Structures are given as C-alpha cells and as structure tokens.
Amino acid sequence: MLLVSVGTINLKYKKKIPDLDLLMSVELIVLIAALIVSWLVFAALINVVKTTVKTAIAIAAIVLVLQLVFGIAPQALWQQMTQLPEILWHLVTRK
C-alpha cells in the first residue's frame, strides 16, 4: 500500500496485482475461441473452393459436350452469352 500526502489530504493507493490463475484462464478461453473461429473460417473457405471447382468442372463438361456432340465452338457460345441480355430485353419488350 502506498500512502501519498497532498497538503492535508492523505490518499491511499492499493496496487492490485491481477490474479495469475484468472488471467491464464481468460487467455486460455480467448485462445480456444480464436481457434474455433479460425477453424470455422477455414472450413467455410474450403467449402467455397470445393463449390468453385465443381462449378468449373461442370462448365468445362458442358462446353466440351457442346463442342464434341453439336460442333458448337466455344467462341460461338461466348458470343451468344454476351448477346443474351439484349435478346432477353427484346423478348420482354416485344420489339
């Protein structure tokens, strides 16, 4: 305990030392929470990557089938895809 005298007023300061066991338990809880959050983020990213790969494989398979079975070149498919909004707009507005 530290006693400080200021004029006629005496102020007492108690320097509190944090309980080491409590501090370690809080740090352990924060560490466990950080590990859980990190694992959840990692699992979500793995799911996104898996979905992306599945979609890319499906698109490649569709393009390959169109090219081999129907003889449609990827450039023709891309050209049709870029004109799709205009085609849909003409269908909706009946022009």
11-65 confidence digits (pLDDT tens): 555 556 556 666 678 888 999 999 999 999 999 999 999 999 999 999 999 999 9
Most confident of 3-7, 22-26, 45-49, 85-89: 45-49
Alpha carbon distance 21, 29 (integer Å): 12
Alpha carbon distance 66, 78 (integer Å): 12
Q: What is the predicted pLDDT for the residue at 1?
A: 47
Q: What is the predicted pLDDT for the residue at 94?
A: 83
Report the interhelical angle of 74-93 vs 20-70 (nearest 10°): 90
